Amino acid sequence: MCGIFVTQGEMSEKQMNEVLELLYHRGPDEGKSVVTDRVHLGHRRLSIIGLEDGIQPIHNEDKKRWIVCNGEIYNYAAIKDSLAKDVSFLTKSDSEVALKLVEKQGPEAIHQLDGMFAFFIADEDNGSFVVARDTLGIKPLYYGKDRDGQYVFSSELKAIESFVDEAKEFPHGHYFTPEHGFVCYRKIQSPQKSYTEHEMTEVFTSIKETMNEAVRKRRMADVEVGVLLSGGLDSSLIAAIADQQKEGDKPLKSFCVGAEGSADIINARTVAKALGTEHYEYIYTEEELIEAVSDVIYHLESYEPSLVRSAIPNYFVSKLASEHVKVILSGEGADELFAGYAYMEKYQDTASMNKEIIRVLNTLHHVNLQRADRMSMAHSIELRVPFLDLDVVENALQIPAGLKVHKKDRMEKWLLRKAFDGIIPDEVLWRKKAEFSEGSGALDLLELHAERTITDETFEKVQAEAPVDLRSKQEMFYYQIFRDHFPEEKMLHTVGKWATA
């Protein structure tokens, strides 16, 4: 996990160093920049794979192609083997595999990559470049043009805002070349085949097999991997699967945060005890919660209330985990795939259910996934999301709506619970869903603070003057902090919005 910055325009060494300092939290292990004939490449590295020789930018043999990459390529070993006959590798880095794949087979081959990534490849021979982002946008990437019309790319907005007139989010599932523009190399679609409601055994087996493989892939690292454990269904299942897969006697490390007496803390203890994890927890106070809001919004680069609320406990748990591990697994994505949200009950047929699931998956890049990436990276830790493995997604879309929707005799995510029955304690497996911010005790504290500190008159005044719609006092509280960090109005255009505030 890293931070990248690339510009075609003029840039001094001092400017590049300042930019890389803004991205330091994304990669405190190493930092480097390279000036080629046509581009300036900057990189901050959090070393996870190829610890000794994976410093970036990485070049090919004749130094005519260079890559800076943020993320992980989970199938890099298989691709490396397929290229090994006529390609030599200079490092053990998974990022170099992406470079050599594109060098050998062109950008059309990017669809072969299985992982979470955003990368830039400079092609000095042809005076060109290739930029790509993973299918769901798990890893962030922004771009724009400077005043001379030259392209600039970066992992975070804060590093790009002073260089471009307008910052845009790079579309997920696309690559870009100057010759062909944006090309969609993969998008999530409804599958051609699906299970029937009578194939219960096959459905349960497929869920378990795809999830086990997804976790196995994401345990790939040259450093220790831990799990976020909120005590809810999704994180508990990931923890249980990871615990089953661990090798040796060393226990899996699990992490939870919350307010004193909160549901997350209590339920996580139950799961940790049942699994035998080496469990760490942190109890935060209301004062700490409020104090953290400014730093959270700076790293999150958003003032969206639902996002900020859930980001704050995520911020604390990432901070806690970073003291013990470099990689953590999270339960993001289960609600989207297995109809865990109450409103999804209205989608009774598979076609409409899948259409809604795909729509929601395509919004995650600037809501849940933005929160997950930014809060973990704020503390220099890599977060991985097994539920959003492409095989898990494809399999989930093959399951008919009738087996997913909440019914009188089936609670939400019944299918997922039933598939893993016995793997975690029943009081957790069959407990009704709670939002992370709700279970951690963050939601009420933040709402009360906004109501106590913002008068109706102040709210109406700021609401009337703001160039965006402010839907609540809580949103206004976050918005004002956001504008303190990012005063330029152009930064508002990248903020993703949820339906409610």
Q: Catalytic residue numbers?
A: 2
DSSP character at residue 279:
E
Beta bridge partners of 32: 43
Whole-angstrom distance, CA of residue 152 vs CA of residue 160: 7
- Chain position carrying tokens 């989608």: 347
Per-position DSSP letters for 162-220, written without gaps between them: TT-SS-EEPPTTEEEETTTEEEE-------S----TT-HHHHHHHHHHHHHHHHHHHT-
Taking a C-beta distance cutoff of 8 angstroms, is the pair 163, 7 a contact?
yes
Largest CA distance in the chain: 71
Question: What does DSSP say about strands 115-123 and 128-133: parallel, antiparallel, or unpaired?
Answer: antiparallel
Helices (H) and strands (E) in the chain, counts: 18, 17
157: three-class secondary structure by DSSP? helix
Q: What are the CA-CA distances from residue 216 to residues 70, 92, 329, 467, 471 (Å)?
A: 21, 20, 11, 46, 42
Side chain identity at residue 52, one-letter code: E
Coil/strand/helix, residue 90: coil
CA angle 13, 142, 20 (to 5 degrees): 25
| Placement of tokens 């900020």 in the chain | 308
User: By three-state DSSP, how is residue 14 classified?
Assistant: helix
Which are the contacts of 181, defined by CB distance < 8 A and separation ≥ 6?
Answer: none
Contact status, residue 4 vs residue 155, Cβ threshold 8 Å? yes
- In this structure, which amino acid lies at residue 244? Q
Assess whether the previous peptide bond of 57 is cis (omega < 30° from 0). Answer: yes
Q: How far is CA 129 from the centre of its chain?
A: 25
